[in-house]
Chains A and B, each alone.
Chain A
C-alpha cells in the first residue's frame, strides 16, 4: 500500500466524516453558522438552508462553486459563470475561489483546507512550511533585485534570477535535510488524552460508524504516525532508539540578537558623533557577526538559518559600500539648483559646495589677469549633477571623481567609467586647450551623480 493510500484511508477512518450522505442537495443541511464540526451534522427539519460546504460530488476544481450554489439554492452554472467573469476581469474571481477553497470545508472532510495547511505549516519539517519559506525568500529576493537593479544594471537582469534560484535551493536544502537524526515530533501530534483506543485489526474493514466521533481536527500525518482516533498496533520490531532528538539550539537567535545590537551601537555612535562609522562598516559588522555565528554553529549548536539572513545582508553591505564616504556630509550642506558665475579669480578660489541638486559652474565670465600662472577651482555636489562650462580658449587641467555616477569630459565618457560607474577618478592630460596662458585646475567631485565638463 502506498503511503498516500494509507493517508487517504486513515483520513476516512479517523472519523472525519460527519455523514456525507446527509449533506446532499436534496437535504436541507445544518444551520449555516454551524462550523463546529465536532458535532455531527444532523438533518434538520424544515426547509432550512443547507450547510455551506464544498460539493465533492459535483465539482470542476474544488467544488467551491457548486457548494456555494447549493447553499444559495441556485444553479451552480450561475456561480461558475460569475466566478469566471470575475476571474477574467481583474482576477478577483480567482482570489474569491481561493478563499472559498481555503475556508469552506469540503463535505467529505471535517477541517477546512486552511486548518490543514496551518497544521502542516506548524510541523517543523513539513513541505508546506518549506514552500511558505521559499515563497517568502523569493519575494524578498525579487524586492532586493529590484532595489539593486537600479545600480547593478548588468547582472540584475539575468543574474538576479540565478541568485533567486540558488537562494531557493539553499532554503529547501536547509529545511529538508535532517535525515541523520530522529525527525522531531510534529507540532500536530495528538496528545494521549485525545487518542481514543480503537480495536486493533484491519482499520479498513472497520465500520466507520463504530469509531468515536472525531475529537480533534488534527491532521497529523506525515511524520509521526500518530493519527487522531487511531493507535497503531505496536510495530513488531521496535526500532532501536536512534540518536536522541537534537536539542533545540538557540545559537541562531543569540547570533541574530548580537548582530542587531552591534548595528544599534555603531549607528548610535555615528548619529551622536562619538565616532564616524561608515554605513558599510555597520552592515559589514552585522554580517561578520552572522558569519561567526555560523562558524560556531558548525561545531556547537545549530544556526543554519542564519544563511538565509546573511545572503540579503551581503547584498545590502555591497550596496552600502557604494555610498561614498563624503555623501552624508556633502548632502547636508544645501539644496537647490544653482549657477556659479565667478567673475574674478578671487571669487573662484572659495570652494563651491552644493548638497542636493544641479550645479552649473560657468567659467566663461571669469577674468584671469595676464600675470596669473595657475587658478584652482574646487566644486563639490553631494547628490545631483555638476556641470562645468569652460570657455573655448581656456587651458584646463582637472581631477574629477564621482562616488556613483559618470564623468563626461568634453562630451566623452571618461576612461574607466562604465554605464553606471562608481568611484571613478579622472585626471585629465595636462593641460587641455591652448598651449600658452594660465592653467585653470578644476577639482571636481560628486558623491552621487554625474559630472560633466564642456566647452562653451
Chain B
C-alpha cells in the first residue's frame, strides 16, 4: 500500500463508524443505552463533516496547484471535459 497525503474524508468517516460501532458494542455489555433514533442524525452529521472537510481540503490543494503551475497546463488534464476541450484545440 502506498502512503499518501491524509485523506480527510476517509479519516472522519472511519472515526464516525468506529465510534458508533464501539458505542453499540459497549452498550451490549454495560448499562450504556444508545437511542437508536440518534444514530441516523449522528451519521448524517458525521458524513457532512467528512464531506465538508474533504471538500475544503481538496479546494485548498487545487488552489495551490493552480497557483504553482501555469494555467493552461493546470486545466488540461483536470477533468474529462477539459481534456476534450484541449483535444479540440489540437484538431
A-B contact count (CB 8 A): 192
How near does chain B come to A17, taking the closest CB pair, in angstroms?
19
Assess whether A295 is in contact with B37, with CB atoms less than 8 Å apart: no
Knowing A1-B88, A1-B91, A183-B80 touch, does A304 contact B43 (C-beta < 8 A)?
A: no
Assess whether A239 is in contact with B25, with CB atoms less than 8 Å apart: no
B39 at interface by CB-CB < 8 Å: yes
Assess whether B39 is in contact with A318, with CB atoms less than 8 Å apart: yes
Assess whether B14 is in contact with A221, with CB atoms less than 8 Å apart: no
Give 18 A-B pairs besides A162-B44, A177-B58, A318-B24 with Cβ atoms closer than 8 angstroms: A3-B88, A6-B88, A125-B80, A166-B44, A221-B84, A222-B84, A225-B84, A232-B91, A242-B77, A281-B29, A288-B21, A290-B17, A292-B18, A298-B8, A304-B7, A307-B10, A311-B43, A321-B24
User: What is the 8 Å Cβ interface bit string for chain A, positions 338-351, against chain B (1 contact, 0 not)?
Assistant: 00000000000000
Q: What are 14 A-B contacts defined by CB distance under 8 Å?
A: A2-B85, A3-B81, A180-B58, A183-B83, A232-B87, A232-B90, A233-B91, A242-B77, A251-B1, A296-B14, A298-B11, A307-B9, A307-B13, A321-B28
What number of B residues sit within 8 Å (CB to CB) of A?
57
Knowing A1-B88, A203-B91, A225-B83 touch, does A284 contact B3 (C-beta < 8 A)?
A: no
Q: Which chain B residues have a beta carbon within 8 Å of chain A's beta carbons?
A: 1-4, 6-11, 13-22, 24-25, 27-29, 33-34, 36-37, 39-40, 43-44, 47-48, 51, 54-55, 58, 61-62, 65, 73, 76-81, 83-88, 90-91
Assess whether A7 is in contact with B84, with CB atoms less than 8 Å apart: yes
A154 at interface by CB-CB < 8 Å: yes
The residues of B that contact A154 with a CB separation of less than 8 Å are 37
A303 at interface by CB-CB < 8 Å: yes
Task: Give the residue name and chain of the A residue nearest to B6 (CB).
Answer: A298
How near does chain B come to A165, taking the closest CB pair, in angstroms?
10
User: What is the 8 Å Cβ interface bit string for chain A, positions 388-419, against chain B (1 contact, 0 not)?
Assistant: 00000000000000000000000000000000
Task: Give the residue name and chain of the B residue nearest to A201 (CB).
Answer: B91
User: What is the 8 Å Cβ interface bit string for chain A, positions 96-138, against chain B (1 contact, 0 not)?
Assistant: 0000000000000000000000000000010000000000000
Assess whether A152 is in contact with B36, with CB atoms less than 8 Å apart: yes
Assess whether B61 is in contact with A291, with CB atoms less than 8 Å apart: no
Knowing A304-B9, A321-B36 touch, does A233 contact B90 (C-beta < 8 A)?
A: yes
Knowing A179-B78, A288-B25 touch, does A166 contact B13 (C-beta < 8 A)?
A: no
Assess whether B76 is in contact with A280, with CB atoms less than 8 Å apart: no
Bound-state CA distance A152–B35 (Å) is: 11
The residues of B that contact A247 with a CB separation of less than 8 Å are 2
Within A262-318, the residues touching B (CB, 8 Å) are 278, 280-281, 283-285, 287-288, 290-304, 307, 310-311, 314-315, 317-318
Knowing A169-B51, A242-B77 touch, does A6 contact B87 (C-beta < 8 A)?
A: yes
Assess whether A288 is in contact with B90, with CB atoms less than 8 Å apart: no
Bound-state CA distance A321–B34 (Å) is: 9
Q: Which 7 A-B pairs have the closest CB atoms?
A: A3-B84, A294-B14, A291-B17, A291-B18, A295-B14, A301-B1, A288-B21
The residues of A that contact B13 with a CB separation of less than 8 Å are 291, 294, 307, 310
Assess whether B21 is in contact with A284, with CB atoms less than 8 Å apart: yes
A192 at interface by CB-CB < 8 Å: no
